[in-house]
Amino acid sequence: MKILVFGSNGLVGKSIVRRFNSSSDKYTVIESTRNDTDLFSYKETSKKIGESNPDIVIIAAAKVGGIYANNTQRFSFIIENLKISMNIFESLVDFPNVKIVNIGSSCIYPLNADSPISEESLMTGKLEPTNSPYSMAKLSSLEIAKTMEEQFGHKILNLMPTNLYGPNDRFEEFNSHVIPGLIYKMHKGKISNSDEVEIWGSGSPLREFMHVDDLSSAIDFLLETDSSYELLNIGSNEVISIKELAKLIKKIVKYDGDLKFNSSFPDGNPKKLLDSTKVNKLGWKSNISLEKGIQDTYDWYVKNID
C-alpha cells in the first residue's frame, strides 16, 4: 500500500516517515514537501495526488508555532492552514477509496472545556484567544472532512494530538513551541554561561506533552485497527506545570543559572489535558516518558545544531 505523507519534512512528517519505513514492508512511503508541491496551489496539490495514486494520505503539513507566533502572526496562521486543508481535501474528492488521516491539534477545543478534554467537547464553547485563528483553520478542516464523508463516502480519520515535541522541531526563541523553545534558551544560556534564562508566563499553566514518535505509533496502530471513530484524541495522560517542565529541561540540559518567569507574557489556557480514553480502549497507549523523550530531543538537538 502506498502512503503519501504531506509535510514529510516537519516534526510530525519525519517521524511518520521513519515509522512506516522501518515498521513493515506492507507500506511504500511517498514523501512530499514544499520543495516538490506547493500546497497553496490546488493545481500542484491535485497533480501530486494524481501522480502518486496513493492508498492512504496523511496530512501532516501545517503552519505551526508556539503561543508567541500564533498571537503575532494571526492572519498567516488562519489563511495558510485553510489553504493547505482546502487544496488537499478538494484534490481528493475524486478518490473516495483513498483513506485520509487528518492530523489536527488539541487547540480546537474550547478554552473552558472540562478537563480531561473529551472529543464530545468539540464546538461547545469559545476558543483560547491567543491561537484562535489556527484553531479555526483546524476546525474548518474537520467540517470539510465531515462533508466529504457525507457527500462522497470518503473514510477520514481525524486525530487530535496533545502538545507534541521531538527531533526535527523548530528550536528558536520566538516561534517555537514550549519544549524546543526552552531547550534552545537553556542550551544557549549554558554555552554563554548566562546567569538566568527568561521564561514567558507565570509557569503555572498545566500541560500535557507527548513525543512525536508516540503519535506515529498511534497512526500505525489505527491503520491496522477496525474502528468506526472519525475523531480521536491522542495523548500521553501525563500533565505537568510549565514551571516543573522548565526545571526538568534545566536538569537535562545541565544549565546552572536561574529561571526567571515573566508574567507580562500570556499564559494561555490554564490547564489542558486530553481525554484519550477512546484510543486507549482500542489498545493503544503512549510509551515514551516525558523525561526520556526530552533527553532524546536534547541529544538530537546537540548533534544537529549549527
Annotated catalytic residue: which of 109, 134, 255, 301?
134
Q: Is 42 a catalytic residue?
A: no
What does the longest C-alpha to C-alpha distance in the chain come to? 60
**Alpha-carbon distance 173 to 11, whole Å?**
17
In angstroms and rounded to an integer, the radius of gyration of the C-alpha atoms of the chain is 19
The grid coordinates listed for 218 are: 498511534
**Alpha-carbon distance 71 to 268, whole Å?**
10
Enzyme catalytic residues: 134
